[in-house]
């Protein structure tokens, strides 16, 4: 399910009094900030929080980043001879009509857009240039990864673990990826307990496990996602977290400007 559909369901169930979720686990901090402000979460500071990279822990104690979604540049190794270096490589005219980004309806893509427009090196001008280069808008990150591996698109921005998982299942797939050398958008997927949680004790135990070294190792090894603890090895093929240059972002600013961001995105790519 997309982040948007999960958020819609949370609000709909709250309105109908049919809350079914004890734990809410969404794509990015802007979602968690919205839920926190609207009173949909309850505080819980896990004892494991002290082991989490500090920037991924909510200062108010409502949510904690649980895994990292890194927005990388993926490319088809048959059609792209020289490895890309950064997000701007999608602007190269030789990739006109063969480059892609994911629609804002994906939580990770929305947060990526919100992060890049805050950055003076990108701004809305970057997205305007993408549109001018006939950049295709794809519905989801797994779909983006598949389209690049199949050669329908040659280059695009997607979540790193979708590429790693595809290569795990299909080692001969014609796809690879790079972390942008001048900065990567890294999105900490937040986990939290819902306001109307029916089993708080079990929910706390689950969150503690997700954030524990054992839980983080499981997600890194079995799911291919990046950990949020420095004492856990990253998935095979990924650069150590200490080597990533993360582009800073303000989750609250992104949340507060959601309507403007989505509207502008639609205007540019319509």
Above 70 in pLDDT, residue 186? yes
Q: Taking the complete model, does pTM exceed 0.75, yes or no?
A: yes
**HEC per residue, 11-28:** HHHHHHCCCCCCEEECCC
Return the biggest CA–CA distance within the chain: 56
Contact 228, 63 (CB under 8 A): no
Locate the DSSP E strands across the chain: 23-25, 41-42, 64-76, 99-102, 136-138, 155-159, 175-178, 185-194
Neighbour count for residue 17 (Cβ, 10 Å): 7
pLDDT at 215 > cutoff 80: yes
Q: Which of 12-26, 44-58, 136-150, 191-205 has the lowest mean pLDDT?
A: 12-26
| pLDDT single digits (tens) 4-20 | 778 888 888 888 877 67
Sign of the alpha-carbon dihedral angle for 232, 235, 240, 246 = negative
Token pair listed for 175: 């796809």
d(CA 258, CA 103): 14
- Counting residues of the chain whose pLDDT is more than 70, the rounded percentage is 99
- Assess whether pLDDT exceeds 80 at residue 63: yes
Mean pLDDT of 29-34: 92
Q: Report whether 157 contacts 87 (CB < 8 A).
A: yes
Spatial neighbors of 53 by CB under 8 A, at least 6 apart, are 65, 228, 229, 230, 241
pLDDT of residue 1: 62
Residue 108 scores a pLDDT above 80: yes
- Set out the domains of the chain in order of their start, with CATH numbers: 3-67+185-236 (3.40.190.10), 81-183+254-269 (3.40.190.10)
């Amino acid at each position: 399910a997309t982040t948007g559909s999960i958020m819609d369901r949370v609000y709909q169930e709250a309105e109908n009094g049919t809350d079914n979720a004890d734990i809410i686990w969404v794509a990015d901090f802007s979602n968690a900030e919205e839920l926190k402000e609207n009173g949909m979460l309850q505080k819980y500071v896990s004892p494991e929080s002290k082991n989490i990279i500090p920037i991924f822990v909510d200062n108010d104690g409502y949510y904690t980043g649980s895994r990292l979604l890194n927005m990388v540049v993926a490319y088809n190794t048959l059609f792209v001879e020289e490895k890309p270096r950064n997000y701007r490589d999608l602007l190269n005219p030789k990739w006109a009509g063969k480059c892609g980004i994911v629609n804002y309806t994906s939580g990770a893509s929305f947060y990526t857009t919100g992060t890049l427009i805050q950055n003076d090196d990108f701004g809305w001008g970057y997205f305007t240039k993408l549109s001018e280069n006939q950049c295709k808008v794809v519905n989801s990150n797994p779909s983006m990864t598949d389209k690049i591996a199949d050669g329908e698109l040659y280059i695009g921005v997607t979540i790193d673990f979708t590429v790693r998982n595809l290569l795990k299942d299909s080692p001969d797939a014609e796809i690879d990826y790079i972390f942008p050398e001048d900065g990567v958008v890294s999105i900490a997927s937040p986990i939290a307990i819902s306001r109307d949680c029916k089993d708080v004790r079990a929910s706390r135990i689950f969150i503690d496990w997700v954030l524990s070294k054992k839980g983080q190792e499981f997600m890194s090894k079995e799911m291919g996602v990046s950990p949020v603890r420095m004492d856990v090895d990253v998935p095979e093929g990924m650069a150590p977290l200490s080597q990533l240059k993360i582009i800073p972002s303000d989750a609250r600013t992104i949340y507060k400007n959601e309507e403007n961001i989505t509207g502008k995105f639609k205007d540019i790519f319509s």
